[in-house]
Amino acid sequence: MSADPLLTTAEVAHRLRVKPETIYAYVSRGLLTRVKVPGERTSRFRLADVERLAARTQATRPERDAAPAMRTATTLIAYGRLHYRGLDAAKLAPVTPFEEVARWLWTGQRHHEVFTASAETLERARQASSHLPGQARIFDRLPVIVAVAAAMDPLRFDLAPATVTALAPALLSTMVDALPLAGDAPADDSLAARLWPRLTGSPASEAGLRALNAALVLLADHDLAASTIAVRVAASTRANPYAAVLAGLGALDGPMHGAVGGSVHRMVEAALRDGTPATIAEWLRTGGLPGFGHPLYPAGDPRAATLLGLVAHLPVEGELRRTLDDLVATAARRDALPNVDFALAALAHATGMGPGAAEVIFAVARTAGWIAHVVEEYAQPSNRFRWSSGYTGPVPEPA
């Protein structure tokens, strides 16, 4: 048998962007060859064969006028892993500064730099967001901050790639530094260190900052998630980069997207208070178990495994550690593995962050990926997205 990596039917279907039934059709037509693995009942497929077929089908597949394809060289989710421009995100996360990964997403070049914003922009963004009512979430400040950053940038309508990637560090810096402090001054000038005291009053530790930086890296992009599609549609109209990011923040705020982390945080709180069995039973009764399972990672979310591994090195209080372990073990009996939202909730609880922290971490991190997609979309024809509505209303009256 070849030493070439072998893929499951589900992995092949995801890579080729087809239904599993189509894989069987490819086999019957001789386009793919099954590989029998001793001791396994299911067949597998050679990676090289799948890539050859992907190159052939995706190069010749016509693009429908009703739904133009969104192609990207930024991120690939395949074979159970997340890759940024060919690099495994889970391997980057524990050892690479978020700023370096962001630059890699934008330009394909790796170098570390400090992200900064002008003092005037920061002050105006702080003032504007400070007028929100007391019950406003910390996430609610981000659209205000981005809007102020846009108004302060006279070059925001310059859509050249170099201009867009030049404004991105200041935008990320403003999104972090304009948030109010909840703790002591940052431990250093990294974005992770500057974000930490905005999310928790607990003192920063080396292990904690490493985990927070890793969370930012792991969430920087995830192919064409709902918020990224919103960003690209906005960019296709030639909305400026700030406006495109605002479109992404709107989609991210949905309870089935970036706001899932808050639900997981509350589920962990309930498990600490009421016990794991009762909590899981209640969440299943009311709709589902947030923080577990991911359709793109049937064998487990590698982002969760990486982040939970880093959280394990934090001084987690005994009852919290037992509760997190119990939640994972109980969910595993239902074949549900933790995803990155659960790992974010574990990080937040271990570091004294509130339920809104996960969504803010998600938003700051994903802005890096959105900028990469904005640059890609500006290189495409404008206004290219026009889907058919599939009208189901009353029949029009005769003219």
Q: Report yes or no on 390 lying in a domain.
A: no
Mean pLDDT in order along the chain per 10 residues (399 residues): 72 84 87 86 85 73 56 91 96 98 97 95 98 95 98 97 97 98 90 97 96 98 96 98 98 90 94 94 89 92 98 93 95 93 96 95 98 97 83 73
- For residues 44 and 110, membership in a common domain is answered with no
- For residues 108 and 165, membership in a common domain is answered with yes
- For residues 155 and 192, membership in a common domain is answered with yes
pLDDT digits (tens, 9 = 90+) for 139-150: 999 999 999 999
pTM of the full predicted structure?
0.84
Nearest to 183 by CA among 204, 205, 163, 214: 204
- For residues 324 and 234, membership in a common domain is answered with yes
The residue range of the domain holding 20 is 6-61
Start-to-end C-alpha separation, the chain? 69
Look at the chain and report how many structural domains it folds into.
Answer: 2
- For residues 151 and 297, membership in a common domain is answered with yes
Q: How far apart are CA 35 and CA 101, in angstroms?
A: 37
Q: Catalytic amino acids?
A: 294, 341
- For residues 375 and 291, membership in a common domain is answered with yes
Q: Report yes or no on 356 lying in a domain.
A: yes
Contact 332, 297 (CB under 8 A): no
CATH number for the domain including 249? Answer: 1.10.580.10
Q: Report yes or no on 397 lying in a domain.
A: no
- For residues 244 and 366, membership in a common domain is answered with yes
- For residues 32 and 163, membership in a common domain is answered with no
Q: Report yes or no on 79 lying in a domain.
A: no
- Distance set, CA 4 to CA 35, 44, 48, 53, 61 (Å): 11, 11, 7, 15, 26
- For residues 96 and 34, membership in a common domain is answered with no
- For residues 45 and 92, membership in a common domain is answered with no
- For residues 246 and 136, membership in a common domain is answered with yes
